[in-house]
Amino acid sequence: TTTGVTGFFSLPTLAGDSIVISAIGYKKRFFRMPDVKEKAYAVLIELKEDVTLLPTVEIFPYPTEEAFKDAFLTMQLPDEKEYNAVRKNLDQELLTRMMYESLTPDPQANYRYVMNQSQFAASNRNFYRSNPLLNPIAWAQFIKSVKRGDLKKKKWKE
Protein backbone atom coordinates (compact mmCIF):
# COMPACT_ATOMS: atom_id res chain seq x y z
CA THR A 1 0.00 0.00 0.00
CA THR A 2 1.05 3.64 -0.22
CA THR A 3 0.99 6.38 2.38
CA GLY A 4 -0.06 9.99 2.53
CA VAL A 5 2.31 12.92 3.01
CA THR A 6 2.60 12.26 6.74
CA GLY A 7 3.34 8.55 6.25
CA PHE A 8 0.03 7.28 7.70
CA PHE A 9 -1.45 4.15 6.18
CA SER A 10 -4.15 1.64 7.03
CA LEU A 11 -3.67 -2.04 6.24
CA PRO A 12 -5.96 -4.95 7.15
CA THR A 13 -3.85 -7.79 8.58
CA LEU A 14 -4.17 -10.92 10.69
CA ALA A 15 -2.20 -11.86 13.77
CA GLY A 16 1.23 -13.14 12.81
CA ASP A 17 1.36 -11.40 9.41
CA SER A 18 4.74 -9.99 8.45
CA ILE A 19 4.89 -6.50 6.95
CA VAL A 20 7.84 -4.88 5.17
CA ILE A 21 7.92 -1.08 5.36
CA SER A 22 10.21 0.62 2.84
CA ALA A 23 10.74 4.03 1.32
CA ILE A 24 13.30 5.45 -1.05
CA GLY A 25 16.26 6.79 0.90
CA TYR A 26 15.44 4.78 4.05
CA LYS A 27 16.33 1.32 5.33
CA LYS A 28 13.63 -1.37 5.22
CA ARG A 29 11.86 -2.30 8.45
CA PHE A 30 10.18 -5.63 9.12
CA PHE A 31 7.17 -5.76 11.44
CA ARG A 32 5.27 -8.81 12.68
CA MET A 33 1.63 -8.22 13.63
CA PRO A 34 1.07 -9.24 17.25
CA ASP A 35 -2.03 -11.07 18.49
CA VAL A 36 -4.25 -8.32 19.94
CA LYS A 37 -7.85 -8.39 21.17
CA GLU A 38 -8.85 -4.93 19.88
CA LYS A 39 -10.26 -4.38 16.39
CA ALA A 40 -7.78 -1.60 15.64
CA TYR A 41 -4.07 -1.53 16.38
CA ALA A 42 -1.84 1.48 15.82
CA VAL A 43 1.93 1.43 15.83
CA LEU A 44 4.52 4.15 15.20
CA ILE A 45 7.37 2.91 13.02
CA GLU A 46 10.40 5.12 12.42
CA LEU A 47 12.60 4.45 9.43
CA LYS A 48 16.33 5.12 9.54
CA GLU A 49 18.00 6.99 6.69
CA ASP A 50 19.99 4.92 4.24
CA VAL A 51 22.85 7.06 2.94
CA THR A 52 24.55 5.82 -0.21
CA LEU A 53 27.79 7.51 -1.18
CA LEU A 54 28.40 7.61 -4.90
CA PRO A 55 31.88 7.55 -6.39
CA THR A 56 33.34 10.77 -7.77
CA VAL A 57 32.49 11.35 -11.40
CA GLU A 58 34.73 13.37 -13.70
CA ILE A 59 32.61 15.25 -16.21
CA PHE A 60 35.32 16.17 -18.75
CA PRO A 61 38.09 13.86 -19.88
CA TYR A 62 40.53 16.77 -19.59
CA PRO A 63 42.05 17.51 -16.17
CA THR A 64 42.29 21.28 -16.67
CA GLU A 65 40.54 23.98 -18.61
CA GLU A 66 43.74 24.69 -20.55
CA ALA A 67 43.97 21.06 -21.75
CA PHE A 68 40.34 21.26 -22.88
CA LYS A 69 40.99 24.50 -24.81
CA ASP A 70 44.05 22.99 -26.52
CA ALA A 71 42.14 19.85 -27.52
CA PHE A 72 39.19 21.90 -28.78
CA LEU A 73 41.33 24.23 -30.87
CA THR A 74 43.32 21.37 -32.44
CA MET A 75 40.21 19.33 -33.22
CA GLN A 76 40.01 18.22 -36.86
CA LEU A 77 36.82 19.18 -38.67
CA PRO A 78 35.18 16.77 -41.14
CA ASP A 79 36.24 16.93 -44.76
CA GLU A 80 34.68 19.61 -46.94
CA LYS A 81 33.32 16.84 -49.18
CA GLU A 82 31.35 15.31 -46.30
CA TYR A 83 30.16 18.75 -45.23
CA ASN A 84 28.83 19.51 -48.72
CA ALA A 85 27.11 16.12 -48.91
CA VAL A 86 25.34 16.77 -45.61
CA ARG A 87 24.41 20.28 -46.75
CA LYS A 88 22.97 18.88 -50.00
CA ASN A 89 20.98 16.21 -48.13
CA LEU A 90 19.48 18.83 -45.84
CA ASP A 91 18.58 21.30 -48.62
CA GLN A 92 15.12 22.60 -47.69
CA GLU A 93 13.84 22.92 -51.26
CA LEU A 94 14.88 19.36 -52.08
CA LEU A 95 13.30 18.01 -48.89
CA THR A 96 10.06 19.90 -49.57
CA ARG A 97 9.88 18.59 -53.15
CA MET A 98 10.55 15.03 -51.97
CA MET A 99 7.87 15.36 -49.29
CA TYR A 100 5.18 16.46 -51.74
CA GLU A 101 6.14 13.89 -54.37
CA SER A 102 5.96 11.04 -51.88
CA LEU A 103 2.57 12.05 -50.46
CA THR A 104 0.43 10.56 -53.21
CA PRO A 105 -2.03 8.35 -51.32
CA ASP A 106 -2.79 4.85 -52.47
CA PRO A 107 -6.37 3.48 -52.68
CA GLN A 108 -6.10 1.81 -49.27
CA ALA A 109 -5.07 5.11 -47.62
CA ASN A 110 -7.94 6.94 -49.36
CA TYR A 111 -10.44 4.33 -48.16
CA ARG A 112 -9.08 4.52 -44.60
CA TYR A 113 -9.32 8.33 -44.65
CA VAL A 114 -12.93 8.33 -45.88
CA MET A 115 -13.94 5.70 -43.31
CA ASN A 116 -12.27 7.67 -40.49
CA GLN A 117 -14.07 10.85 -41.58
CA SER A 118 -17.37 8.99 -41.73
CA GLN A 119 -16.87 7.50 -38.27
CA PHE A 120 -15.86 10.89 -36.85
CA ALA A 121 -18.96 12.55 -38.35
CA ALA A 122 -21.23 9.80 -36.97
CA SER A 123 -19.76 10.01 -33.47
CA ASN A 124 -20.02 13.83 -33.39
CA ARG A 125 -23.35 14.32 -35.12
CA ASN A 126 -25.10 15.51 -31.92
CA PHE A 127 -22.45 18.10 -31.05
CA TYR A 128 -21.93 21.61 -32.30
CA ARG A 129 -18.75 22.16 -34.25
CA SER A 130 -16.36 24.45 -32.46
CA ASN A 131 -15.30 27.63 -34.18
CA PRO A 132 -11.54 28.23 -33.89
CA LEU A 133 -12.14 31.98 -34.28
CA LEU A 134 -13.89 31.95 -30.88
CA ASN A 135 -10.94 30.35 -29.07
CA PRO A 136 -9.37 32.97 -26.73
CA ILE A 137 -6.15 30.96 -26.33
CA ALA A 138 -5.63 30.84 -30.10
CA TRP A 139 -6.25 34.59 -30.29
CA ALA A 140 -3.69 35.24 -27.53
CA GLN A 141 -1.09 33.14 -29.36
CA PHE A 142 -1.86 34.96 -32.62
CA ILE A 143 -1.48 38.40 -31.00
CA LYS A 144 1.83 37.37 -29.40
CA SER A 145 3.14 36.11 -32.73
CA VAL A 146 2.15 39.40 -34.41
CA LYS A 147 3.94 41.38 -31.68
CA ARG A 148 7.05 39.22 -32.11
CA GLY A 149 6.96 39.84 -35.85
CA ASP A 150 6.64 36.18 -36.80
CA LEU A 151 4.46 37.03 -39.79
CA LYS A 152 7.13 39.34 -41.26
CA LYS A 153 9.85 36.69 -41.10
CA LYS A 154 8.06 34.09 -43.22
CA LYS A 155 7.63 34.14 -46.97
CA TRP A 156 3.95 33.99 -47.88
CA LYS A 157 4.48 32.03 -51.10
CA GLU A 158 5.97 28.99 -49.36
Tell me the pLDDT tens digit for each residue of 56-89. Answer: 876 777 888 888 888 888 877 767 778 878 888 8
Dihedral sign (CA 149, 150, 153, 156): negative
Asked whether the predicted pLDDT for residue 51 surpasses 80, the reply is yes
CB-CB contact of 62 with 68 (8 Å) = yes
pTM for the model stands at 0.34
Identify which of 148, 154, 142 has the alpha carbon closest to the alpha carbon of residue 92. 154
Q: What is the mean predicted confidence (pLDDT) over 139-150?
A: 88
What is the b/e burial string over 117-136, where b = at least 16 CB atoms within 10 angstroms of the residue's CB? eeeeeeeeeeeeeeeeeeee
- 3-state SS record for 87-108: HHHCCHHHHHHHHHHCCCCCHH
Strand intervals (E) in the chain: 18-21, 29-32
**For position 1, what pLDDT does the model report?**
75
Judged against a pLDDT cut of 80, whether residue 143 lies above it is answered with yes
